[in-house]
Structure 1
């Protein structure tokens, strides 16, 4: 037993006493023997451990996250209070995947499963069923207990409900996308004024343009310098009202730099910045509106003439209701001439009479009219609808609105012709859909043969799968093909009497294609034509295959081609010794045939290419295709090193053993020179998403990556057929040419610019598909513009050519009027750049967005407006949500620090004082607690940094630093990490490279990129760090040959919490992350005035991260 005793010196100690009774031979007790051991230190340590465990359980019970412990059979052993509240106490002992997800077995990507497998911490975001609804949860799992061999026997999981954060993130994306345009792109002048000094502390360009000042000039002015009100005290009164009530809308006058007086409508409100009150004023030039109002007042006497001569029918009516406030009739108070023309009802027989008197049967034929008109007249809510007017057999488009309660106005137009056109369009679209299906099937068949050496059976079965989708009734369409006395069909084929077929010869073999309907349906002529086209395409493909087979058998017949080829062709044995060489190969290197036959291909290849080509050879031995074209260098006889394009393949015998290698080589010295020249035309041509080429009359000298992929440029440099004639004409006439053409389902515009002195043309392509679609859409909008609920205009450089009803009401202008001032600048830009521009304006207390779209080959633009008031309000709310999110992250991170310090402090204390007295498993668990604390500390620091960087007021504290030294310093810190992976890091940087940076922040960026490269590159991988100078910027790149990125992963790596989980494949180093590293790096680089991006050709093809920083001038 354990007790306390007092020593002679008075010290109280804890002892463990082990005692037993000593008995005599007759079993009588004689005495007591025992041992006393001082266990004071051990006893105190056990008490502290119990206290620590109690605190830990207290934290687990009180934490707002869900905490659970799961055994290796996925049974729930423990739930904290929060988890038990959500899932119920009955969840204890149940399978976690049943409780959390309602599944019958564990998820394949379950993070707890992965923790049991590798003993590592794993993260996952998933949906869980909580309280009858699906909620997003962020889950973290770690080993809780292990067996004697260190294998996990239970896992601790902490999950947090992040549903609201997910929703906020989605809303935040749209807010962040549009916020930056709000201030500077506003067409109205905006300024922030200090009411004490009347000086403007911030303003946009529109404010300067409004009064004709430069930004430097306007910054020096005070309000009295441009205030042109007749009584200055009026301005003071407005300022006092704003300060008192928080807002005021008023009209005032301002004086421009040139002395002109402008009428200004001002919306002013109080805002608080850094604890001080300022006035924010939005100023709109209403000078033209004032003039327009005057002109409108003068033209009011013309209204009656316009009313009587308008093309639309017009009726002013009063609704009649019963005692229950239900509409039962209405009276015509006034109608125009068009009303009589469109309806056939006489004005004198209509005005002053009820509609039930004028059209007695209207309640039976159109009973819902009374409900519609009554709602408008009683509620003031306008509406628009189409109706077929049976007595006249015509369609009418009717707009109804109310000027005052119990009265309404109808404006209508005859839209019968439009309805007929819509019906024809619908029929045309149906035919077009069928044609698209036909073309798609032909395209899919052509794609089948893109797979090299596709077996004949796979080609025909693939065709059988494609054909039904192109017919009217694909579900009941069955197909079979008979070729070379063999029947090919799918399992569901059944021959019926409703069929069509075609038969044609492929060389000497007939092919029969039969299509059957399972039901009595008729084939249309287009379907028969399609079957002929499919047969023709199959014939062409199979003919080609037969011809290729025969060409291969008679390969020796074309020895002349070998000798006359302008490309170097050679063969070598499996040791690399040359066997055969053509003249072009000899001319390329300057050797005689006898000299070259004594050499090995490695003898003419620089040493730096040997390892790469050895790897290619090993790869080709296991594959049945050539190496593809790649670049390397050859050494000529005189020692000159030249760049070449090369492709090789291995010939094997019937047993599959290699017997010979063939090479095709082309000297690309000229092309390299051209590539250097073309780089002057495009800073990074290979990165240009649009095609860039240089060509002579006979061949393409250079094409960037986009040009090669789009135009299918081959190694011969053959010019696409559609460019031949226009290139020749451009060079012969020395004129710039333009060409629009559809390629790969996209429309491209090519500009061909001749450089006659050099004998070539530069070709620039741009994808104009979106612009063409926009033009088509605006053209369709303009077809019946008067029916559009939003403003639609067509204008030239001076006047309004056309404006619909909505536009007339909103902008207070008509056809042939001058262009509103709000559009002038952007219209000029649209004409000059032939590109779509956008204007936002506040009209009638609503915010409108106008798209200005130039029409190619015309001298006008179309303008389409849309009310975006609600969208702007949502954007403002999202800004507030984003601010709350950042504040939450900051506060949550600080709150997490307090318990973290206590846990880590106690674990450090125990390890430092009592590690020599503790069992190894206890020390291991304490170290795991310590490591977990450090990881959580890193996460908290990243959250705090992310929150801090989101503040628009944060600016880096830059000073002149040596960027090269900083890169070397980061590399030195991480060298041991790379050595553990046996990775090589190659450095290609300038000896000194000065830039204005905040050293600590750029250190974080470099360290993060290099750490990621080490983490996601397999053992013995390569990492290259390089710097380049581009104009006023230095480009830093970190390249690896690691796991790479898919297209979907590329889109989210720079997003907040955009972590891409990758486990296994020898990549894990225990380097945990939150998905904030690259997001933080992006914010840091952009705050320094630079950019960050990445390139990767796909999974397992490595990646390269780049960032730029301005250099010191």
Structure 2
């Protein structure tokens, strides 16, 4: 009626009526709007070609180029179109009025349209219903065209009515002609929703991992190989060392605190290797740390970081060293009480890094009070009551009402300190000691002098208490030996006291061991699934160490049975030469560390009846103890 044409899509279907008459069904679908969009699309394509042809450089190039080159360019253009359609990015381009000139299928599908032609020739006002987003997008695009500058990797969040959320990495590039005039804008989006969710999960995982590390009972140190400095420390390691993080994070700061004799342990260490070393804490004392090393490599298998998982084993080392020292002392004990006490005093002084140790015993002879003093410097002195009260600072320990060790500083009694010959001799600043109970009486003391005021650790208390017990046992052993007339009876009493010492030490070691072993087994048996790999491996190492210590204690208990003739031997015919060679091989490592040599010359086969386990213990001690007691480098 108005002279306009309409486009219809016609479908034809033949039908047969009940009377067998042939009929035709015609279905008309109005496609006028679709045709209108197609015309617009062709017009835009023509405009685009006219624009290309209007650029002098391209027109001149076409005049000089043969048809083959033009064909290659067209082929390249079609390949570009194919790439745009196949890449996963969302791509669209607009003219200066923000009207869509084109887009790829991914972009059309993202906006909820099936075909690209549904987008071309329209603006965001007709395509994007969210007004705030539409305004924000148009402002960004206008800004790019006005400034002529490119915007890369802007992270944008799109929310949809169905509850979906998409994270997009947006790029906006101004489209310029040969005269550098902006003609439009190219927009590309990369869907990074999955990447974003993965990143969030990774951050949550890292947060949980960091929380685990921060609350871990293990000290953790991360060392950057390239920077040659510590880059991470958890609170536990800082509390162990009582140091500020900045002191450890300076270049080579961590390694500067390690004991010089332990530095060689860090060279060429294999991954997950166990290591024990000493490190200086804030108080100027070396503490023992033990743990595993984990090496971290980059994608080309180059070592970039080393992570240490560490725990404090200072107390255990003190036990081991004290046990070794006491064992060595008791093996070297003689009938001379004074010399034996001096050996114990030297061991105590050595373990505490002290400068002088005294054992003072109060005795009454003929109604008069005397004080007998044994020093770690092989002195034996006797003072009367008046001299002792006027000149000896250590008398303060006799005034204590407790048996626990205490530290007293020189400045507590300056006048008495000036008269004390022991303080003046080494210019001591402090004394650490305790009373020793003897038959329910507090009539002797053990004290150690220090040139500098020490930082008293828990290990100091253990050393002083066990040394005091050893001194008291040795004093009693001496008194028993002195009072006995019959040599056999005297020897039996001495052995009894030695057995008591072994039992006492075994008890002291076994009591904490039961708790350590019990809780370790509890964690591994009932909570292993809740722990990560590294904590489980640490618990297993604790379990192994506890089992080894349990074997050692059992051996000490077994040795005490020797005195009571309760040992049963399992004798079998074995090759004694093989057992001796096996024992020597086991001790060569210790000998090499002390630069010592072990020479062995025995027949190849010596078969006899013996208890293999017992004889091995005898051989191990017979060869092993001289390695400790003899000077280094001695054969």
TM-score normalised according to structure 2 size? 0.35
Larger Rg over CA atoms? 2
TM-score normalised according to structure 1 size? 0.22
More strand by share: 1
Per chain length, whose mean CA-contact separation is higher, i.e. which structure has more relative contact order (CA < 8 Å, sep 6+)?
2
More helix by share: 2
